[in-house]
Amino acid sequence: MFFQRLEDLRIDADKTQQEIADVLHCKREVYRRYEKGIHEIPVWAVIALAEYYHTSTDYILGLTDRR
C-alpha cells in the first residue's frame, strides 16, 4: 500500500513526522494519519512530497517500484 512508502521515504531521509508535517504545513497528527493510511493524502501533498524526496508521484502511490 502506498502509505507504507510515505513512512519508508521519511525514514530513509532520516526525518521525523514533525519535520515532514512542517514541509506540508500541517500538524504532525494529520501527517501521521496519512502515513498510517487512516486518511487519504491529498493530491497536492503527494506532489509536494514527490518534489521534496526527488521521486515520482507514481512511486509514492505504488504504481512503480522505480524511484
Percent of the chain with pLDDT over 90: 90
Of 50, 64, 54, residue with least CA distance to 41? 50
Q: Residue 65: inside a domain, yes or no?
A: no
pTM for the predicted model, two decimal places = 0.91
Domain at 55, CATH number:
1.10.260.40
Q: Residue 43: inside a domain, yes or no?
A: yes
Task: Give the chain's domain count.
Answer: 1
Q: Residue 67: inside a domain, yes or no?
A: no
Q: Residue 12: inside a domain, yes or no?
A: yes
For 36, the domain range is 2-60
pLDDT band at 49 (very low <50, low <70, confident <90, very high): very high
What is the model's pLDDT at position 1?
A: 60
